[in-house]
Amino acid sequence: MSGAVLEASGLSKHFPMRRGLFGPRRVLRAVEGANLVLRRGETLGLVGESGSGKSTLGTLLLGLMAPTAGAVLCDGKPLGSDRKTIARRIQVVFQDPFSSLNPRRLVRDIVRLGLDVHGIGPRGGRDAAAAAMLERVGLTAAQGERYPRQLSGGQRQRVAIARALVLRPEIVVLDEPTSALDVSVQSQILNLLLDLQDEFGVAYLLITHNIAVVHHMAGRVAVMYLGRIVEERETAALFAAPAHPYTRALLAAVLTPEPGLGLPDIHLGAAPPHPMAPSAGCAFHPRCPHAMPVCREAAPPPHPVDDGFASCHLLQQD
């Protein structure tokens, strides 16, 4: 594993909003100045609360919407806007496999479609290629002759994975790939993804709110808060000693099966600030138990932390 295969450089996405016909025009800053590097063959976890901008950032990296500012680079070159070219190199596995699969097509045809669109392999051999990929993800030839509604949730997600990997992309964006599945099936899908990564050398961007999934899958982790990446570290180092107060709060919020402990108190209040009314200075300071006067005045720059960075004024005091 070496080199950057996908990069976000100063990436921002703003959505103009208006309440009512004559209401004031406001801006929703879904992603703000994000810098991210996905290395060839690695898994990078992207975590944060709901509404932190994770899925919007993933959508930008897939080229499904244009950024307000910044750029997406693939192998150091602008990603461009040609959907067919992008899809050949970057695929996605969505959260809900039922809604992402065409209910009117046979499973075999769903997997084969990408080969037809891109003209990959001889026409007569594409059914065999689709069947081989279905077998590789743990499905039978008979299941390939069914419709998605005739499969279980875990089987449908295997179809979605086969559809993504049959094109042999360099990158797959995994957007909450197991959150819609039963707990008993989740580990099977995650282990399958790891096996396929070893086999095909694909890089994963894993978007999730599940800290345990990140710990199991990712070699590095990027933490988002209100559209900004506030910390990026090697997974083992981040879990051992998180540098940003928000990262510490996220890890502290993980529920434990130990009886009698109840819900953890992470001292952040009930809800984050609204993204259309971000605070001046550090966006996290209204919820941060360690906030200083400078946090209300200036956004913190990235601060090197051994294997990565964290954007926090507390680190500048060391």
Q: What angle do CA 225, 179, 54 make, to 5 degrees?
A: 25
d(CA 35, CA 46): 12
| Residue in this structure with the two tokens 């990436």, named with its chain if needed | 11
User: What is the pLDDT averaged over residues 139-149?
Assistant: 95
- 78, two tokens: 């602008």
Q: What is the pLDDT of residue 279?
A: 75
Q: Please count the other Cβ atoms lying within 10 Å of the Cβ belonging to residue 233.
A: 24
pLDDT in tens, 62-116: 999 999 999 999 998 999 889 899 999 999 999 888 888 999 999 999 999 999 9
Q: What is the pLDDT of residue 176?
A: 92
pTM assigned to the model: 0.91
Q: Which residue has the higher pLDDT, 179 or 41?
A: 41
Q: How confident is the model at residue 157 (pLDDT cuts 50, 70, 90)?
A: very high
Query: What is the span of the domain harbouring residue 225?
Result: 4-316
Q: How many domains does the chain have?
A: 1
pLDDT in tens, 162-200: 999 999 999 999 999 988 888 889 999 999 999 999 999
| Residue in this structure with the two tokens 């004024």, named with its chain if needed | 313
Contact 219, 197 (CB under 8 A): no
Contact 148, 103 (CB under 8 A): yes
User: Residue 183 region, left (φ>0) first, then alpha (ψ -120 to 50), else beta?
Assistant: alpha
pLDDT in tens, 8-34: 999 999 998 877 777 778 888 999 999
CATH of the domain at 295: 3.40.50.300
